[in-house]
Every structure is written in C-alpha cells, then in structure tokens.
Amino acid sequence: MRRPGPSGECTRAARRSPRPVCNACGVTDAPADAAIAALVEDLGRAREAASAVAGRPPLGVRAVEAAPGRRGYVAAFEGPAFLCLAGDMRAEGDGARAREAAQASLLWEHVEGLVDADALRALAVAAGRVLALGRDPEGVLAPIGTVASRALDLVAWREEPLRALASMPDLDRAVALQERLVGAYARFVRLSEPLVAVQDTLDGEFLEALGELERAAGRAGAGRRLADELAAALPDCREGADEMAAAHITRLAEAPGP
C-alpha cells in the first residue's frame, strides 16, 4: 500500500490569498491574514529544522494540529523516511505523539481527496440550472436551492488557505458542513421520488437538468457521509502511521508496557 507523505503543496496552499468577498470592495480579514502569514513562516522554519536534523531537505512538510493548541510538523524524505517535529521545532521523541501526528497527516489527505471543491462547485452549478427552469413539481426547488447553498459552504471551508494546516479539531466543522449537504440532498431525493412514476409527463429539459444534478451530486459525495468514509479510512491511517514511525529518522521513545 502506498503511504502518502506530507504534500509539498502545504506551503503553496498557505500562501494563497483568500478570495475577495466581492469585486467592488477590497474586504480583508486582518486576523486571518496574520494567521496565514504565521503558518507560512512556521512551515519555512519547520522545513529548515527538518533539513538540519536529517542532513537533507524534505520532500514536503505538513503542519499538524492533532489536538487543540498542539501544533506539530511531519516531514517526508526520500526512502521513504519521515520526521515528526514538535511545536518547538525539535525532533519529536515520543512515539505515541509521533504516531498521532502521522495519523492526522494521513487522515487529512483523505479529507483533501473526499472534499472536492471543483465537484462541489459543479453540483451548485447543476442545481442552479434546475432552479433557472422554474419548474417545481412536488416542491423540489426549495431543497435543490439548499443543496447548492450547502455545497458552496463546504467549498468555502475547503478553500480557506488555513486548510494547509491538518487540524483535527477543525475537521469537526467540515464533517458538520458535509452532514448538512447530505441532509439537504436526502430531502431532495425524498421529494423527487414520486416524479419517477410520472417522468413521461415531465418536460425533457427539466428531466435532463435533474439527471445532471443527480450525477453531480454523486461526484461531489452528497449522498455519502464524510464521517463514515473517514471512519472507514482510520485503520489504514493507523497502519500507515505505524509504518511512518518505523521509518522515523530519529529514535522514538515508547511508553513502557503494563
């Protein structure tokens, strides 16, 4: 099994500026900008610290917050080899904490794959096409509008520059946002079920738009719970974390057994 390490995209993602709220005004969020700048600086320091410990530059560095207020870093090297750094930029010496950081990093890669901003945007566009037709059999337009809104809420979360930080506490927010999308889509599905029996009487353009909405929802994962998919991924992440700890560049201390 391939064990993906920290992505080299981390620093580049953190450097991206937030999208403006509107084209007519240059609204900025000073606290968010400061947090992004601090994260970029910390990633640079972590890269330097990892290079000093390993004697060679890492392929990538991931900032990890495995628990509230506890920042760490996971660096991947050719080999593969790995190095976990504590918040003070020193090599992590605790085996349990190193595994925790490695597991968080691996789980975050699953999140990045499952929460696809482009697919979510396409879902919102498909919903907009149905809404634009103005036909509302069985009252389906209201939940379709909610689906579009919930999809864009999740896009906003996914594209925040601070997503370069693999924050397990913030993962709860993504799960909650995705649950709202799943709920909105489930309501649409329930309301649209009676349309199957009368589809021969419906406008072809409307049926085509509904079909594209359903296909877009499938691609965006609107019918699947993110929480369930992450729970299913946990065993592999734990196994991967063990492998990363075994390939740790520095020695890790293990807690004594009972």
CA atoms within 13 A on the CB side of 229: 18
CB 166 within 8 A of CB 64: yes
pLDDT for position 11: 34
Q: Whole-prediction pTM value?
A: 0.79
Query: Alpha-carbon dihedral of residues 182, 183, 189, 194, nearest 10 degrees?
Result: 170
CB burial of residue 125 (10 Å; 0-12, 13-18, 19+): middle
CB 127 within 8 A of CB 147: yes
pLDDT for position 3: 41
Return d(Cα 62, Cα 106) in angstroms, integer: 10
Return d(Cα 190, Cα 201) in angstroms, integer: 19
pLDDT for position 30: 66
CB 89 within 8 A of CB 247: no
Return d(Cα 57, Cα 44) in angstroms, integer: 11
Nearest in space to 41 (alpha carbons), one of 170, 165, 157: 165
pLDDT for position 25: 36
Return d(Cα 51, Cα 137) in angstroms, integer: 62
Spell out the residues 6+ positions from residue 131 whose beta carbon is closer than 8 angstroms to its own. 141, 144, 145, 148
pLDDT for position 253: 82
Return d(Cα 196, Cα 193) in angstroms, integer: 6
| Tens digits of pLDDT across the chain (258 residues) | 334 445 443 333 333 333 332 233 344 566 678 888 888 999 999 999 999 999 999 999 999 998 888 899 999 999 899 999 999 999 999 999 999 999 999 999 999 999 999 999 999 999 999 999 998 888 999 999 999 999 999 999 999 888 889 999 999 999 999 999 999 999 999 999 998 888 878 888 999 999 999 999 999 999 999 999 999 999 999 999 999 999 999 998 875 544
Return d(Cα 146, Cα 144) in angstroms, integer: 5
Return d(Cα 195, Cα 189) in angstroms, integer: 10
Residue type for 148, please?
Answer: A
Structure tokens at 158: 């996914």
Handedness of CA 172, 42, 98, 247 (dihedral sign): positive
pLDDT for position 255: 55
Return d(Cα 97, Cα 105) in angstroms, integer: 12
